[in-house]
Amino acid sequence: MTAQTANATFTVIGNPTTTATVNAVARTPRRGWNITLWAFQVLLSAFFVWAAVPKLAGAEAAVAGFEAMGAAPWFRILTGAVELAGAIGLVIPRLSSLAAGGLALVMVCASYTNLVVMDAPLAMLTPTAVLCALFVAIAWARRAETGRLLALLHRR
């Protein structure tokens, strides 16, 4: 996190030739937005760890759900691994934008699966659409981190 600083130069009373510079941290709405965004990222990360572990562990409900849609066991494990990687990446500053973009894509795929493969009612689109919108917003807000990551990789 970076804070904006304001520099102020003033003359010390009694000695017009002495000056002092004071750096003051400016509290901006951007800082509040950054904290809110990180809170969402941590909560969403925890949610996706919670969603990924049963898939990776082969929990009965996860296995039954993937069998119901006719998916092979490797697809359940792949889905869990992608969700877990996204959850971890969401809380790593340099990877947060890419992870959010990846999880948004996972939500698009989940929406398709719910509506087309599972023939679920349209109401099932709401949770995945909301999550997708949140991930797109996080990816957009953290896009500068992707630029920093690319610059870091380009220097090597």
Q: With bands split at pLDDT 50, 70 and 90, how would you rate the model's confidence at 28?
A: low
Report the range of poorest mean pLDDT among 25-34, 49-58, 94-103: 25-34
- Helix residue spans in 73-124 (DSSP H): 73-90, 96-112
pLDDT recorded at residue 106:
97
Residue 24 has pLDDT above 80, yes or no: no
Burial profile 6-17: b = 16 or more Cβ within 10 angstroms, e = fewer: eeeeeeeeeeee
| pLDDT tens, residue by residue, 102-141 | 999 999 999 999 898 888 888 888 999 999 999 999 999 9
pLDDT recorded at residue 155:
87
pLDDT recorded at residue 16:
53
Look over the chain and give the mean of its residue pLDDT values, rounded to a whole number: 86
Residue 49 has pLDDT above 50, yes or no: yes
